[in-house]
Structure 1
Amino acid sequence: MKYLKIFSFLFIITAVQSCLSADEDPVSVAPFTGSVADPDIMGATQPNQVWIDLSDINPDTKKVNQSINKRTDWELGFYSGTEYRVVLNGSIAMAVAKIPNATNINAVKESDVKTLMNQAQVGPFGTSVLQYVDSPTGNFLTQTTGIETIKENDADNPVYLLNLGKKIGSEANIPPGSVSLTGDARGWKKIQILRAPNGYKIRYADLNATDYKEYIVSKDTDYTFQFFSFTSGNTVNIQPKKKKWDIAFTAFTNEVFMGTSSAGSYFYADFIITNTANGVAAYQVNASNLDQAYKAFKLSDVDQTKLISNDQRAIGDKWRTTTGTSDVPGAFVYADRFFVLKDAEGFYFKLRFNKMKNQDGERGHPNFEFEPL
């Protein structure tokens, strides 16, 4: 996080005269002013993932900086921590399934996995499909779905069928207020992931190939994940460093409910995730008079018991509706709530979302404002 520390003589005198005692540690001070952000999702096909650090303000524009990549720039994320975990790119609706009784990746053919190809999909097909995607909570270290923990013994690591998800949708003829997230299928791979010194060894091939390719992915503890692209056959830069982002705007593979019952996996537009892997937490504040409540909210009003640090969907889709109400149909930003966020450095912010469409009614043009508390 980029934040400001002030250790001037004047600050010390002021601190001593106030509530700080002489033996207390220096206090990191959050940015003095808030800012406005227009995440560059790039319209109704929402091709971009946008990573934002609320403390990273451009000194010239006074707006928050953005780290941007195409959703199709990567397929797999390899955890750089002590554990050996691998995640899917849920922003393109990927899915994965263990191939029964498969130990030799070269021996697997498309005819062997025809039935499995119909199952390893993203869609509201019942709770059984949730096993083929990552946990929407973002708790990848404990999830029992997706790709298993990579085992130390090579022979214990299965061969997987990997659904590469969907291409970015077409920009043609999208009605105002709608989105076109998904295009044609991106195809399939068979993969096997093993451990390597300080990293991973990935073996991958097309389904009918008899010779696999291999690549070593090394861990880098400055980052939560190292990301891999089958297109380039190499690692690619996606997320900023561990504590250099708070929220991300992205398409998202989520769990959908019918009432209180799970209906399986579903693909969401206009979604926001929080960096829970590095301590970011958030919660929603309801307000009958949004302008008044947002302006008046201060640090002492933060309810620590409401902060959500174990689910990356703390903001999620709660900032907007895509179906509207009986009185006001369509997609719009809720005007009865704002959000509180605690970043990885312990600073607090309030966030207010203002729009999700441009003046022509095209989705994928969000705007929000925020202030440090």
Structure 2
Amino acid sequence: MKKIVKSLLLVAFLGSFNACNDDEPPLPDNVAGFESAEKGFEGEETEVKITLSRAVDVATPISVSVTPTQLTYGNEFTTTPAVANNAIALSVPAGQSSASFKVTKKAGILLDGDESIAFKITSVGAPALVGTATDLKLSFKAIVSEGTSIQLNGIAGQEPGSSAANSVFLDLSSNTQTAVLRDSWDLGFYSGADFRVIINGTNGASALAVNKSDINAVTAADIVADSLAVGQGMGKLALVDDAKGDLSKTVIKEISASDADNKVYILNRKGGSATVLPADQLYKIRIVRKGTGYSVQYAKLNETTFKTVDVAKDAASNFEDISLEKGAAVDVEPAKDKWDLQWGYSMYYTNFGTGMIPYGFSDLVFTNRQANVEAAEVLTTTATYDAFAESNLAGITFSKDADAIGSKWRITSGGTVGVKTDRFYLIKDPAGNIYKLRFVSFHANDGGERGKPKLEYKLVKKGA
């Protein structure tokens, strides 16, 4: 009799458990859409991306119709994949949440600037659906956006997390975002008049100098590896670059015209959580000037010979970047006048009661300080986002600091995790355009997704 009672109780429990599962709300539709409704470009090639609400379990086809205005496919432009029957066939790979195609201008053609292409998502295969952001106008000239809503994609095929794999650069005037893997680069070389070098703070990098100028003479015996640890209460600000973007406060001192003055540095290329890579993954580097550019000597810490890579300055860029693992230049930032904000994980700083120390976390927003982008915070007690207009700009003080927005736009602890709704921001871009911008969501608590923040912005004043 006891066995029967136990069996009945077990059945009742399982039934109750399954009923609870049945009561769980279903996931919302997984929909596809363009990142913005309008985009412009001045170069020879641009990428157009279609994103899904979340990753798909199976390869998912997408069809995009192509309607050019004052252009003929094959004569003035081409696409990759190619257009067939006035459409582009794409596929989102299993495990991914986006697909893209490239539009390339034909070499040697002259355009008036009135040319454009209308793209429309016409079908999406199961398990996804066509969303609402189905149309994109691509103008064959630079545009000054009137504003849009956009979701940044910091996730690179992995599960969402606070430390997104991508850094995302956003250009407000062209409605363009550029995602770059944080782990793809190590050193950035300033293209301005000074000879300055940055380390990859978005990868939790840290570095320290060794009082030697012969890179082959430096070994693991010259440092205590744990002294490179930063984050989680460890380390000093002297091990990381200035969070405000001041190039006079980089770990690597200004590269001297006198070779003998340029010391060797030990680089922990990936850290941030009080971790240091094993000795066989630490790099020793020494940088000297070469003409108007740089020459980098580099090797693993205990190697007795070094390799060299030369870096030329490019006036179109803030920095030229290299990967030590590849031993070559890599593309990171867009052109210096083609981005305004950078979102992602980075080394920053905090105070645990003993003074400021380095601290790494995600959802930091930096402005493009080197291209003179400025920002200001406006509290809604002063003016609401919707009501703010050009007439409200009087008396606004803009900041040149790269961290003018930083982490001030959100809360990440306690029961109130989410976007702060009592403030928004003004962004002045390199062309003098001023946008108002507010964050919409970034966390499940505010209806968003960690690693894919949503924001919206609107032009307040057009540059001269």
TM-score (norm 2): 0.64
The one-letter code of the counterpart of 1:37 is: I
Q: CA RMSD in A?
A: 2.8
> 1:86: Cα distance to partner?
0.1
> 1:123: Cα distance to partner?
2.0
Q: Is the 8 A contact 1:242 1:278 kept in 2?
A: yes
> 1:2: Cα distance to partner?
6.3
Distance 1:295 1:212, change over 3 A: same
Q: Is the 8 A contact 1:124 1:264 kept in 2?
A: no
Superposed CA offset, 1:35-68 (max 9, x none) = 0110001131400011110011xxxxxxx22111
> 1:120: Cα distance to partner?
2.1
Which runs of structure 2 are paired with 1:39-118 in the superposition (5 Å)?
Answer: 39-42=152-155, 43-44=160-161, 45-56=163-174, 64-100=175-211, 102-113=212-223, 115=224, 117-118=225-226
User: Which of 374, 386, 399 is equivalent to 1:308?
Assistant: 399
> 1:263: Cα distance to partner?
3.1
Q: Distance in 1 between matches of 2:394 and 2:367?
A: 18
Where 2:452 maps in the other structure, the secondary structure is: strand
Runs (4+) off by over 6 Å? 1-4, 181-184
Whether 1:276 aligns to 2:389 is no
Percentage of pairs with the same residue: 33
Superposed CA offset, 1:160-203 (max 9, x none) = 11111239xxxxxxxxxxxxx89984731011000001210000
The one-letter code of the counterpart of 2:356 is: A
Q: Aligned residues, how many?
A: 317
Which runs of structure 2 are paired with 1:163-174 in the superposition (5 Å)?
Answer: 163-166=268-271
Q: Is the 8 A contact 2:209 2:265 kept in 1?
A: yes
Distance 1:306 1:3, change over 3 A: farther
Q: Is the 8 A contact 1:124 1:263 kept in 2?
A: no
Superposed CA offset, 1:86-127 (max 9, x none) = 001000110110113x221111111222x2x2222222547x
The aligned counterpart of 2:151 is 38
User: Which of 361, 369, 373 is equivalent to 2:456?
Assistant: 369
Q: Is the 8 A contact 2:237 2:356 kept in 1?
A: no
The aligned counterpart of 1:17 is none
The one-letter code of the counterpart of 1:202 is: V
Where 2:442 maps in the other structure, the secondary structure is: strand
The aligned counterpart of 1:318 is 408
The one-letter code of the counterpart of 1:133 is: V
Whether 1:339 aligns to 2:425 is yes
Superposed CA offset, 1:310-336 (max 9, x none) = x10111111111014xxxx15211111
Q: Is the 8 A contact 1:3 1:31 kept in 2?
A: no
The structure, 1 or 2, with the larger RCO (C-alpha pairs under 8 Å, 6+ apart) is 1
Q: Is the 8 A contact 1:49 1:70 kept in 2?
A: yes
Whether 1:134 aligns to 2:134 is no
Where 2:237 maps in the other structure, the secondary structure is: helix
Where 1:363 maps in the other structure, the secondary structure is: coil
Q: Distance in 2 between matches of 1:65 and 1:343?
A: 14
Superposed CA offset, 1:132-182 (max 9, x none) = 110111011x21x40000001111100111111239xxxxxxxxxxxxx89
Q: Distance in 2 between matches of 1:196 and 1:112?
A: 27
The one-letter code of the counterpart of 2:254 is: T
Superposed CA offset, 1:59-90 (max 9, x none) = xxxxx221111000000000011110000100
Where 1:301 maps in the other structure, the secondary structure is: helix
> 1:232: Cα distance to partner?
1.3
Where 1:111 maps in the other structure, the secondary structure is: helix
The aligned counterpart of 2:388 is 297
The aligned counterpart of 1:351 is 437
> 1:31: Cα distance to partner?
3.5
Distance 1:318 1:303, change over 3 A: farther
> 1:274: Cα distance to partner?
0.2
> 1:3: Cα distance to partner?
9.8
The aligned counterpart of 1:177 is none
- Which stretch of structure 1 is more off in the superposition, 292-301 or 221-230? 292-301
Distance 1:118 1:185, change over 3 A: closer
Q: Distance in 1 between matches of 2:208 and 2:145?
A: 49
Q: Distance in 2 between matches of 1:268 and 1:220?
A: 31
> 1:363: Cα distance to partner?
1.5
Q: Is the 8 A contact 1:80 1:219 kept in 2?
A: yes
- Which stretch of structure 1 is more off in the superposition, 350-359 or 213-222? 350-359
The one-letter code of the counterpart of 1:341 is: I
> 1:361: Cα distance to partner?
6.6
Q: Is the 8 A contact 2:441 2:449 kept in 1?
A: no
Q: Is the 8 A contact 1:30 1:372 kept in 2?
A: no
The aligned counterpart of 2:32 is none
Where 1:267 maps in the other structure, the secondary structure is: strand
The aligned counterpart of 2:75 is none
The gaps in structure 1 that reach 5 residues or longer are 5-28, 57-63, 168-180
Where 1:268 maps in the other structure, the secondary structure is: strand
The one-letter code of the counterpart of 1:257 is: N
Where 1:293 maps in the other structure, the secondary structure is: coil
Where 1:106 maps in the other structure, the secondary structure is: helix
